[in-house]
Amino acid sequence: MHKLTELPAWERLFKKIIWKQIGDIRDKKILDFGSGEGITADHFAEHNDVTAIEPDEDMLQNAWTDHAYTRIVGDVSALAEFADDTFDIVICHNVLEYIDDKKSVVQELTRVLKPGGIMSVAKHNRTGRIMQMAVLLDDFDKANALLDGKNSTASKFGEIRYYEDDEINEWVSDLDVEKCYGIRTFWDLQQKQEKHADEEWQEAMASLDMRVSEMEAFRQIAFFHHLILKNNHREEIEAENPFMKEAIAEALEGIYNGHGGPFGCVIVKDGKIVGRGHNRVLAIIDSTAHGEISAIRDAEKALGTHDLSGCELYTTGEPCPMCLNAILWANIEKVYYGCTISDNAGIGFRDEKFDQLSGGREAFQDFLVCIDRPACQRLFEVYNSLEHVIY
């Protein structure tokens, strides 16, 4: 079993801090791209399904493997083996600055990252490097060269091609920075380097570094920046019926925000939408906050009446018994739904069970009309690809 004390002092501190910033992750599918000797991959493999990709075969052969994980020798082209939306988390630590075509790499990493997934990117910070050259290494020529916008060199990997934190969002607009941490803020200001390997000193330094890691003044001079980015890609699903398309859009809004199941609804009168809503059971902790109920309430408020005679309802999933009865009480004249009760059961919802208890719905065959089922089934697929709670 490997121990962190085997690592150089600076790397040991780096790992301790960045792992704390990522947090205690369990039961996730993780990609470590540019995994090096697999130290981070091995760490997270204890409780997760981890894949490590590294172009240097020698590094992979010497990788830490105290815990089982998949190791692949390759570069960005190796990602072609993976389907879209494969991983919950993508780790890319101190890799992009050694690559010329950063944009293409980030785009491909985003492709395999699930919507709502997290990308952890560690990168050199030019200002922190200047501090290191001027204070720790006493190299004014290199400090001035960095100030002039020139790149620097790492002894092991070659030229460091600096890039700014916000460039990632320019390359992939769906990737938004959720957090930006500093790492190794004080290390390069510490002259007593013989202390660096002392474990007690390391713990004290890590604690101090963590304390200031989100303070802007300290983050500006940190040697590394650690970006936590979220994939905020939101799929657009086309439907033949324009009102069902609006219902799907409502559902997508709900599932991307973790409000509840993939059920969106609009209510239409005289060809115009008068009410809309989506499932908000988890958002407001209300087991009755289904999409149809939310839309009915919205329509009644907009029209100033409890009587929705002359209205039609469009919903992404066949209404459950509760919603069906609410629809009848509201005097809605027709219901168009996408996915069936059986489809709902297929993603873990209990509508079918309750339907049997209430005697089925054969009497409603003319009242309930199925349309745009393929589009709504795609909605259910998107929901299944996201982290969600079944209730």
Which of 136, 120, 135, 167 lies closest to 22 in space, CA to CA? 120
- Give yes or no for a contact between 314 and 339, defined as CB atoms under 8 angstroms apart: no
Rounded to an integer, what is the distance from CA 385 to the centroid of its chain? 11
- The single residue listed with the structure tokens 């719905």 is 361
- Give yes or no for a contact between 168 and 106, defined as CB atoms under 8 angstroms apart: yes
- Give yes or no for a contact between 189 and 135, defined as CB atoms under 8 angstroms apart: yes
Q: Answer yes or no: 292 catalytic.
A: yes
- Give yes or no for a contact between 108 and 33, defined as CB atoms under 8 angstroms apart: no
- Give yes or no for a contact between 181 and 226, defined as CB atoms under 8 angstroms apart: yes
Rounded to an integer, what is the distance from CA 142 to the centroid of its chain? 38
DSSP assignment string, 128-175: HHHHIIIIIS--HHHHHHHHTT--EEETTTEEE----TTHHHHH-TTE
Q: Which of 292, 333, 362, 387 is catalytic?
A: 292
Query: Helix and strand tally (H, E) in the chain?
Result: 16, 14
Q: Which residues contact 388 (CB under 8 A, 6 or more apart)?
A: 255, 258, 261
Residues forming the active site: 292
